[in-house]
Amino acid sequence: MRPRPRLALAVGVSVLLGVGATALVGPAPPTLADAPVTGDADLAARAVEALGPEGVRALSVAVVDTTAPPPEQVRLAAVGTTAGAGSPPVDPGTPFETGSVAKALDGLLLADMVDRGEVRLDERVGDLVPGSPLAADGEATLQELATHRSGLPRLPRSALLPALMSRYSGGDPYSGAPADLLEDAAGAGAPGGAEPEYSNLGAAVLGQALAERAGRPWPDLLAERVLDPVGMTSTSVATTPAEVPVEGAEPVRANGSEVEPWTAAGWAPAGVGPWSTAEDLARLATALLEASAPGARALEPVTEHSEDREIGLHWIVSSETAGDGGEHVVTWHNGGTAGSRTFVGLDRQRGRAVVVLASTDRSVDAAAVELLLQGATRA
**DSSP-assigned letters across all residues of 60-78:** EEEEEETTS-GGGSEEEEE
Q: Is the model more confident about 303 or about 160?
A: 303
Give the Cα separation of 144 and 163 in Å (integer).
25
Predicted pLDDT at 246: 96
Give residues with Cβ within 8 angstroms of 266, minimum separation 6.
176, 177, 178, 179, 180, 181, 182, 204, 208
Q: Give, to the nearest 10 degrees, the angle between helix 200-214 and helix 178-188.
A: 130
Domain ranges (residues) in the chain: 96-373
Q: Is the model more confident about 219 or about 11?
A: 219
Q: How confident is the model at residue 2 (pLDDT cuts 50, 70, 90)?
A: very low
Predicted pLDDT at 335: 97
Is the pLDDT at 14 greater than 80? The verdict is no
Give residues with Cβ within 8 angstroms of 256, minimum separation 6.
26, 27, 28, 29, 30
Q: Are strands 309-311 and 316-321 parallel, antiparallel or unpaired?
A: antiparallel
Residue type at 143? Q
**Which letter does DSSP use for residue 349 in this model?**
T
Predicted pLDDT at 132: 64
Is the pLDDT at 52 greater than 80? The verdict is yes
CATH class for the region spanning 96-373: alpha beta
Is the pLDDT at 228 greater than 60? The verdict is yes
pLDDT digits (tens, 9 = 90+) for 164-212: 777 787 888 888 888 888 877 777 777 778 889 999 999 999 999 999 9
Q: Yes or no: say if 101 and 152 are a contact pair by the CB < 8 Å rule.
A: no
Q: Please report, rounded to a whole number, the percentage of residues in the chain having pLDDT higher than 90.
A: 70
pLDDT digits (tens, 9 = 90+) for 123-160: 988 788 766 666 555 578 999 999 999 888 888 777 77
Q: pTM of this prediction?
A: 0.89
